[in-house]
Structure 1
Amino acid sequence: MPSYATLAPFIVKRPWLHNLLKPVASWYANAAGYRQLGLRFDDLILEEDEDVLKAIQRLSPKESYDRVYRIRRAYQCSVSHKLLPKDQWTKPEEDVPYLSPILEQIKAEHKEKEALDSLTVIKSH
């Protein structure tokens, strides 16, 4: 569960609202500019949180390598003040979550651990 307020579940449950906002969401993702640098949305998650570091460690070696490659390539583009050629931009269908599901799983594990740690044992006589 995200630590920020989100209207996504509300919007997804209402197809008419989803269809209305889909073009706006696509425009916003393109305007954000991360796809022109070859990044995926989950590449933007900051690595300052302990849970994010755990999630990154759980990535497959290939996915971890790809993430580092995309970030380094984007950094190089940023330093040189250039965008990637259009054929190297991240396509919308490629921009799928790969780190968020693992992060949600870790947060669920923390929640479950807290619930189990707070259990009280009542002895019956």
Structure 2
Amino acid sequence: MNSFAPSFINVVNKRPWLSKLVAPLASWYNNAAGYRQMGLKADDLISEENETVLKALRRLPPKESYDRIYRIRRATQLSLQQKILPRSEWIKPSEDVPYLSPILEEVIAEEKERADLDTLAVVKKH
């Protein structure tokens, strides 16, 4: 897992009883957080102040990139006006699918591989 989106999902998924306990709490939290009421997806909340995230953003398809910028600008405008979207325009949980996280994980894996290869020590056997 990456440091951009800390997660305990593996721990929760390994224990069905814990999953049943945490699922309603997670659903409540996502609704209470209010980002969906502003028309944002969870991946829209990932900060762009990191070179790794910027690399992932450059790999987004043009339509997805445009949609992300639109959602963020609309949410900023709503925040300035201290409003939320009409209920019909809220992001539904089924629509809140990761679009940046998978790309971000690829970039992190590539950077780790590059760092591992750059620090690779060649040992000659005599």
Q: TM-score range by the shorter chain?
A: over 0.9
Deviation at 1:5, TM superposition (A): 5.1
1:90-125: per-residue Cα shift (whole Å, max 9, x none)? 000111111111111111111111111111223345
| Structure 2 residue 92 is matched with structure 1 residue 91 | yes
- Seen in structure 2, the aligned counterparts of structure 1 residues 34 and 5 have a Cα distance that, compared at 3 Å, is closer
Structure 2 residue ranges without an equivalent (≥5): none
More moved, 95-104 vs 1-10: 1-10
1:47-84: per-residue Cα shift (whole Å, max 9, x none)? 00000111110000000000001001101111111110
Give 1:7's aligned residue: 8
Whichever residue aligns with residue 26 of structure 2, its letter is: A
What is the correspondence of 1:1-125 to structure 2 with a 5 Å cutoff? Answer: 1-3=1-3, 6-125=7-126
- For 2:123 and 2:2, locate their aligned partners in 1 and report how far apart those are by CA, in whole Å: 34
TM-score where L is the length of structure 1: 0.94
Structure 1 residue ranges without an equivalent (≥5): none
RMSD of aligned alpha carbons: 1.3
The number of residues matched between the two structures is 125
